[in-house]
């Protein structure tokens, strides 16, 4: 039996997921991604050492500790921003505000699947495709509520919660982990988008054009930006986990 979904302080709360290919490939399958795409571990950001990763790379899913430097950067970026109000088919990416406790992993995964080039690998009538189509016309809060009320999505999350290399944490332990899942995708507009449900909206990190997510420019604008923040703050090594969604035809 999967771990039950809890209601804590009036909010549905699921189990924290591990950021590894075993877990995320299993959840991707349940959400309806074609098996021609798979997640792979990224052990280095040096593109010359990534020859074992199939191409193209469609999305990156990263889990990062909320260090003081990154926290300060997030606060300063978010403070002047208005609430996100975009919706409709002209949105370059579909973004979800997170209102489900500890669902940052599955929402990060969803951001990887329903945006950019991975979207065309969603099977017809799949759960992820249904969620995307339902979300497009909705404003931020209605979109979040739609996902919050989607029992199939919540059950899919819980069904993979005990996979991975470590014992699934309880809710209290999950609260103490202090980590955030972030998805990086290239939108149809050619820009690198940083997608995280606890921010004020999707963040455009800059134009990539024909360059990939793990190109020198892609790393510099994306995960490399956080690594640089930490280095400049004398915070030491930034211990993060990164997996790449890759495969399919060029």
Catalytic residues: 104, 180
| 116 conformational bin, left if phi > 0, alpha if psi -120 to 50, beta if neither | left
According to DSSP, the β-strands at 191-195 and 179-186 are: antiparallel
How far apart are the C-alpha atoms of 195 and 110, rounded to whole Å? Answer: 10
Q: Which residues contact 249 (CB under 8 A, 6 or more apart)?
A: none
Q: For residue 100, count CB atoms less than 10 angstroms from its CB and return exposed for 0-12, middle for 13-18, buried for 19 or more.
A: buried
> Residue 94 is encoded by which pair of tokens?
């579909």
DSSP secondary structure, 129-196, as one string:
HHHHHHHTTS-HHHHHHHHHT-HHHHHHHHHTTT-SSSPPPPHHHHHHH-EEEEEEEE-TTSEEEEE-
Q: How many CB atoms lie within 10 A of CB 10?
A: 5
> Residue 8 is encoded by which pair of tokens?
């804590």
Map tokens 């004020």 to a residue: 200
Residue 50: helix, strand or coil by DSSP? coil
């Amino acid at each position: 039996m999967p771990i039950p979904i809890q209601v804590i302080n009036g909010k549905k709360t699921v189990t924290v997921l591990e950021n590894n290919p075993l877990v995320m490939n299993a959840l991707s399958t349940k959400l309806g991604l074609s098996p021609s795409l798979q997640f792979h571990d990224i052990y280095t950001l040096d593109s010359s050492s990534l020859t074992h990763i199939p191409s193209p790379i469609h999305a990156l899913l990263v889990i990062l500790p909320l260090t003081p430097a990154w926290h300060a950067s997030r606060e300063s970026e978010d403070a002047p921003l208005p609430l996100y109000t975009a919706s409709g088919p002209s949105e370059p990416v579909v973004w979800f505000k997170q209102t489900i406790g500890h669902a940052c992993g599955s929402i990060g995964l969803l951001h990887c699947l329903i945006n950019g080039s991975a979207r065309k690998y969603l099977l017809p009538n799949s759960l992820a495709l249904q969620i995307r189509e339902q979300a497009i016309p909705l404003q931020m809060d209605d979109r979040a509520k739609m996902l919050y009320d989607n029992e199939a999505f919540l059950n899919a999350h819980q069904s993979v919660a005990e996979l991975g290399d470590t014992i699934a944490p309880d809710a209290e332990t999950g609260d103490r982990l202090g980590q955030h899942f972030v998805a990086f995708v290239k939108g149809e507009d050619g820009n690198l988008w940083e997608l995280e449900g606890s921010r004020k909206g999707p963040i455009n990190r800059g134009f990539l054009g024909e360059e990939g997510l793990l190109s020198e420019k892609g790393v510099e604008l994306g995960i490399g930006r956080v690594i640089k923040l930490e280095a400049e703050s004398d915070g030491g090594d930034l211990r993060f986990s990164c997996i790449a969604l890759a495969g399919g035809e060029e």
